[in-house]
């Protein structure tokens, strides 16, 4: 779940803490570009884009989850979900250094794609790999991973950790850590038996 439902919960909660710092960054960037401070309405509009575009990314990720999980298998599709996660972490982490708040918007879009892919494929992959007696218990791990992700996001967002003006780009790019953990560990996991039997026609591999 570290690269699946965890990412979803993490990205939902992580954006709350640095809200005022990101708004200040938008204000400073706008002032440098145009020579005048933006109105509060414009700042609110840009902040709304940053928050809501995650849902659009989630929609795109969810719509492509079915195709990717059949075309490449559940495991490879889960690995593929880490690509937008790393892209989003890079964009959001470097946004302040580059002076483009648009990079945060693009990063949130990619993180939404990661969340949409991971949440759907995680449930599919875990359920298909679980023994029949443990299938219900395994399915619950999706909700557990979301809750742990939210808790991790809120914890990192505390002022005593990364919830300060100087560190918010690191906070926004922290989703790279679970993505890297999954990239290093998931290749050692087996493919889904259902995928091997029904999609790949590999009865021996399924057995």
Residue 139 has pLDDT above 90, yes or no: no
Residue 135 has pLDDT above 90, yes or no: no
Asked if residues 61 and 84 have their Cβ atoms less than 8 Å apart, the reply is yes
- 63-76 average pLDDT score: 93
Residue 3 has pLDDT above 90, yes or no: no
| More confident site: 103 or 4 | 103
pLDDT of residue 153: 93
pLDDT of residue 60: 96
CATH code of the region 2-199? 1.20.1250.20
Please, what sign has the CA dihedral across residues 179, 62, 71, 6?
A: positive
Give which of 105, 112, 13, 104 is closest to 61, Cα–Cα.
Answer: 112
Residue 37 has pLDDT above 90, yes or no: no
Residue matched to tokens 């995650």: 54
3-state secondary structure of 130: coil
Q: Which two tokens stand for residue 56?
A: 């659009």
Q: Which two tokens stand for residue 190?
A: 């087996």
pLDDT tens-digit map of 163-185: 899 999 999 999 999 999 999 99
- 37-55 average pLDDT score: 93
| Reported confidence tier of residue 16, pLDDT bands at 50, 70, 90 | confident
Number of helices (H), then strands (E), in the chain: 11, 0
Domain boundaries, the chain: 2-199
Rounded distance between C-alpha atoms, residue 187 and residue 172, angstroms: 26
Q: What is the mean pLDDT of the chain?
A: 92
Residue matched to tokens 């850590």: 177
pLDDT of residue 24: 94
Rounded distance between C-alpha atoms, residue 11 and residue 40, angstroms: 25
| Reported confidence tier of residue 136, pLDDT bands at 50, 70, 90 | confident
Q: What is the DSSP secondary-structure string of 135-184?
A: HHHHHHHHHHHHHHHHHHHHHHTSTTTT-STTTHHHHHTTTHHHHHHHHH
Give which of 171, 207, 163, 149 is closest to 17, Cα–Cα.
Answer: 163
Residue 1 has pLDDT above 90, yes or no: no
From the number of C-beta atoms within 10 Å of its C-beta (0-12, 13-18, 19+), residue 36 rates as exposed
Task: For helices 40-71 and 5-14, give the axis angle rounded to 10 degrees.
Answer: 180
User: What Å distances lie between residue 117 and 63, 88, 185, CA to CA?
Assistant: 8, 14, 18
pLDDT tens-digit map of 85-126: 999 999 999 999 999 999 999 999 999 999 999 999 998 998
């Amino acid at each position: 779940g570290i690269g699946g439902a965890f990412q979803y919960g993490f990205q939902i909660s992580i954006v709350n803490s640095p809200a005022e710092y990101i708004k200040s960054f938008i204000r400073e960037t706008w002032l440098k570009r145009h020579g005048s401070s933006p109105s509060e309405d414009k700042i609110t509009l840009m902040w709304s884009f940053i928050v809501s575009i995650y849902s659009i990314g989630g929609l795109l990720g969810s719509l492509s989850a079915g195709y990717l999980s059949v075309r490449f298998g559940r495991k490879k599709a889960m690995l593929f979900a880490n690509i937008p996660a790393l892209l989003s972490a890079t964009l959001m982490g470097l946004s302040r250094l580059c002076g483009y708040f648009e990079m945060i918007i693009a990063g949130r879009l990619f993180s939404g794609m990661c969340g949409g892919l991971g949440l759907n494929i995680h449930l599919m992959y875990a359920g298909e790999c679980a023994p029949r007696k443990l299938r219900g218990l395994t399915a619950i791990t999706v909700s557990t991973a979301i809750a742990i992700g939210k808790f991790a996001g809120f914890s990192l967002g505390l002022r005593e950790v990364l919830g300060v003006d100087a560190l918010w780009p690191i906070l926004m790019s922290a989703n790279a850590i679970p993505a890297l953990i999954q990239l290093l560990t998931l290749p050692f996991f087996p493919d889904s038996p259902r995928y091997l039997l029904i999609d790949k026609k590999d009865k021996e591999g399924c057995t």
